Amino acid sequence: MKHLQHFGLAEDPFRNEPRLRDFFETPSGGETLARLERGLRQAKGLLVLTGQVGCGKTMVVRRLLDNLEDELFEASMLVVLNGAADAGWMLASFARQLGIESPKQEREALLAEVYEQLAIVREDGRHAVLIIDDAHALASPETLAEVCGLLKLEYEERRLFSLVLVGGPELESAIAADPTLARRLEVRVRMQPLDPEASADYLAQRLEQAGGDPGVLAPEAVAALHHHGGGLPGLMNILADNALFEAFLCGRPRVGAVDVERAWRDLGWQAGAGSAPPPPAEPLPMPEAGSIEEDLDVAFDSVSPRPVVPTEGPPKDEEVDLVVELIDD
């Protein structure tokens, strides 16, 4: 494109696509990745990653997925579309990710299929991982209850899979509202916006990867991008891309603060889409001792027998029935 050539760029530097080559390693981002990876390598059950729109959550979990060795993990990722997901969708999608081409329609039969496939993965010496991006779209009581049920699945007294939920702050609120699910949360990580220095480094890296000179962005333009983008990479990408074009239209050799301000106004972000990010959510409340009545999940954890499957083959029908009954309880 002409405006990219104008700035000596070989490609679009600010495309909002989760390409692994664009992963920006910051101390906080590296720590986020390390915490999630540690949880999966220890076969933790429920892991949650939250953050504002544009903070880079999808990039982190794609990097996480890439780091998991095929010989050790059966890992897959689902992206939830708003308004199109419920408990049945989640179960059927998980089944397809596990290699079940035509999942059963009936819930009990579908659960049995999922359990059998997970047992086969375990027999193969691997650990199953499901990452659900934009999981806040699943934040209904029914779907979260189904998540609790799936996390009960065990094979020879070992957890059958790990679930990573990735979403906005509303996901934390939904989990906090369900004490049973909150108890099962084993790893929780929040992604924070970049500080001014990290934002400048991020923007420079994107320009260099596109074959350009970081000096294309004047220092005052970098400051304006950080301010109006709230330190969120996704929002700064949108602003920087539009600011580049504004500078091109005016024939300027570099992007100034005036170009960023024009892009910001044209996008209609004056209401606070980027420049005034909301404060981080409060920590999830931990249930006080004795404050929550014992429910069936607690009873299952403490006294119920686990479904044990012989190692020499996939689970028998009666054992699968027992698993389904326990989940229903």
What are 310-321's pLDDT values in tens digits? 444 555 455 445
State how far the alpha carbon of 4 is from the alpha carbons of 69, 202, 206, 250, 326, in Å. Answer: 38, 19, 13, 14, 59
Cβ neighbours of 70 (radius 10 Å): 8
What is the reported pTM? 0.78
One domain for residues 74 and 218: no
Residues 178 and 215 in one domain: no
Whole-number Cα distances in Å, 122 to 10, 118, 153, 314: 46, 6, 12, 10
Are 135 and 263 in a shared domain? no
Three-class DSSP category at 164: strand
Give pLDDT tens digits for 64-115.
Answer: 999 999 999 999 998 887 766 677 788 888 898 888 888 888 888 988 899 9
User: Residue 175 has which token pair?
Assistant: 């989990």
**From CA 172, how far away is CA 181, in angstroms rounded?**
11
**6 and 144: one domain?**
no
The whole-angstrom separation of Cα 105 and Cα 96 is 13
Q: How large is the average pLDDT for residues 50-61?
A: 91
Mean pLDDT of 122-137: 91
Return all residues near 4 (Cβ < 8 A) that are at least 6 apart. 10, 11, 12, 210, 244
The answer on 189 and 214 residing in a single domain is: no
Domain edge (last residue) among 271, 286, 312:
271
Length reported for the chain: 329
- Residue 22 in any domain: the answer is no
Cβ atoms of residues 7 and 229 within 8 Å: no
- For 239-291, write each residue's pLDDT tens digit: 999 999 999 999 999 999 999 999 999 998 865 454 444 333 343 333 333 33
In a domain, 63, yes or no: yes
In a domain, 278, yes or no: no
The domain that holds 78 is classified in CATH as 3.40.50.300
pLDDT digits (tens, 9 = 90+) for 207-243: 999 999 999 999 999 999 999 999 999 999 999 999 9
280 lies in a domain? no
Q: Is residue 220 part of a domain?
A: yes
Band the pLDDT of 294: cuts 50, 70, 90: very low
Q: Which residue range is the domain that position 233 belongs to?
A: 2-13+196-271
Shared domain for 162 and 46, answered yes or no, is yes
Which CATH number does the domain housing residue 255 bear? 1.10.8
Residue 284 domain flag: no
* Beta pairing, strands 161-167 & 46-50: parallel
Q: Per the domain annotation, does 281 fall within a domain? A: no
In terms of Cα–Cα distance, which of 57, 52, 59, 61 is closest to 229?
Answer: 52
Q: Same domain, yes or no, for 323 and 228? A: no
| Residues 306, 180 share a domain | yes
Could you tell me if 32 and 156 lie in one domain?
A: yes
What mean pLDDT value characterizes the chain? 80
Question: How many separate domains does the chain show?
Answer: 2
Q: Are residues 248 and 321 in the same domain?
A: no
242 and 162 co-located in one domain:
no
Structure tokens at 227: 């301010």
Encoded tokens for 236? 């700064």
Same domain, 122 and 215: no
